[in-house]
Homo-oligomer: A and B are copies of this chain.
Amino acid sequence: MTRDVAIIGVGMTKFGEFWERGYRSLITEAGSKAIIDAGIDGKDIDAVYVGSMTPGRLIGQEHVGALVADYAGLTGIPATRVEAACASGGLALHQAFLAIKSGLYDIVVVGGVEKMTDVSTEHATVALAGAADQEWEGFHGITFPGLYAMMARRHMIDYGTTEEQISMVAVKNHANGKLNPNAQFQYEVTLEDVLHSSMVADPLRLLHCSPITDGAATVVLASSEKAKKLCERPIWVRGSAIATDTLSLHERKSITRVEASIVAGKKAYEMAGVKPDDIDFAEVHDCFTIAEILAIESLGFCKMGEGGKTTENGETRIGGRIPINTSGGLKAKGHPVGATGIAQAIEATWQLRGQAEKRQVKGAKVGLAQNVGGSGATCTVHIFSPEK
């Protein structure tokens, strides 16, 4: 019987376009806030994990595990960078979870960070395309809007999903983002706005796409023994799982079925001893609005093919049957890729502590976070609860 793991502190920067700030400034702010929130001291920390995808290509810096430990004043302790494209944060969270489970470390800080806006959008898009299969996809010129556009079109053909439904994800997530003081876009958009925004990759328009974002997020994890000692209301990591799929889209049997999300979800549900019906809210990876529809289907919140209808019915709104992306999601909160998986865990923590203010899901007892790398080659699923 291995020990349990809890979140005892969280902290994040505002997400946005911060030309005046650098990578190390962002992660240091998020880390400091999490450490203060946990009420611990630097010397209590046994190890650091950092989820980050693009520092090599966007700021010329690799080796960011040691960098973050250095700038946090924690020089000496083990520090590990983990990368799985846009799932880097969720993957780092799983590694930190394993590190505590191993018995070698008791308190582990896990951060996610990306500094993306100091380069041209073209440069950022090319760097992000490193998440796809370079030999079979990237070299032929396809970028992520193109990959997700194919998934969206196929979903429309197979299930009758409409442009309106795909657009309603953006309308909902902007409405949630308006309530989130850390969101990049704190304003609403109408269905008309989304449907008339510029076409990016048919059928995906500008307002179906998450933005390029700077930001950082950090959580402090502790073993059950330490958590009980240090924290009045620990949030337990009840389930933590990763699964993979083929890197390239064309190798899959179906491009509308996110197999890695299905597999990781099943494992996480089993570990947590819960079913999809037990989940009170979820943060899912809406890098494009179609991805949220695929996510709620793959996690069992609705039947396959009914993600569009479920959204249209308002079931995923705050106050609905299963609120999705109360934070605003990647679409409105922003998507600093390495930070995203960690920020999802932070929103879950705030919801489960009852600290989500205007976004609060009433009576929330169990939350889920789903983080996706690339077009679904890596998925992580975490399940959190204030009860063990």
Q: Which A residues have a C-beta under 8 Å from some C-beta of B?
A: 2, 22, 24, 47, 53-57, 59-67, 69-70, 74-85, 91, 94-95, 98-99, 101-104, 126-127, 129-135, 138-139, 241-247, 251, 259-260, 263, 373-374, 377-378
List residues of chain B with CB within 8 A of the CB of A61. 130, 133-134, 138
State in angstroms the CA–CA spacing of A246 and B82 once bound together: 19
The copy count of this chain in the complex is: 2
Task: Report yes or no: A377 in contact with B247, Cβ–Cβ below 8 A.
Answer: no
What is the bound-complex CA distance between A244 and B76, given in angstroms? 4
CA distance A82 to B51 in the complex (A): 10
Quote the shortest CB–CB distance from A328 to chain B (angstroms): 25
Q: Are A82 and B85 in contact (CB under 8 A)?
A: no
- Docked complex Cα distance between A67 and B374 (Å): 11
Kindly provide the distance from the CB of A96 to the nearest chain B CB, expressed in whole angstroms.
10
Residue in contact with A103 in the complex, picked from B56, B82, B101, CB distance below 8 Å: B101
12 A-B residue pairs with Cβ-Cβ distance under 8 Å, sorted by A, are A61-B134, A62-B130, A63-B373, A65-B91, A65-B244, A66-B373, A66-B378, A75-B244, A76-B243, A76-B260, A81-B83, A83-B83
Question: Which residues of B have CB within 8 Å of A74?
Answer: 244
Output the nearest chain B residue to A52 by Cβ-Cβ distance: B83
A62–B246 touching, CB < 8 Å? no
Asked if residues B91 and A378 are in contact (CB atoms below 8 Å), the reply is: no
Q: Is there an interface contact between A65 and B84, defined as CB atoms closer than 8 Å?
A: yes
Asked if residues A247 and B103 are in contact (CB atoms below 8 Å), the reply is no
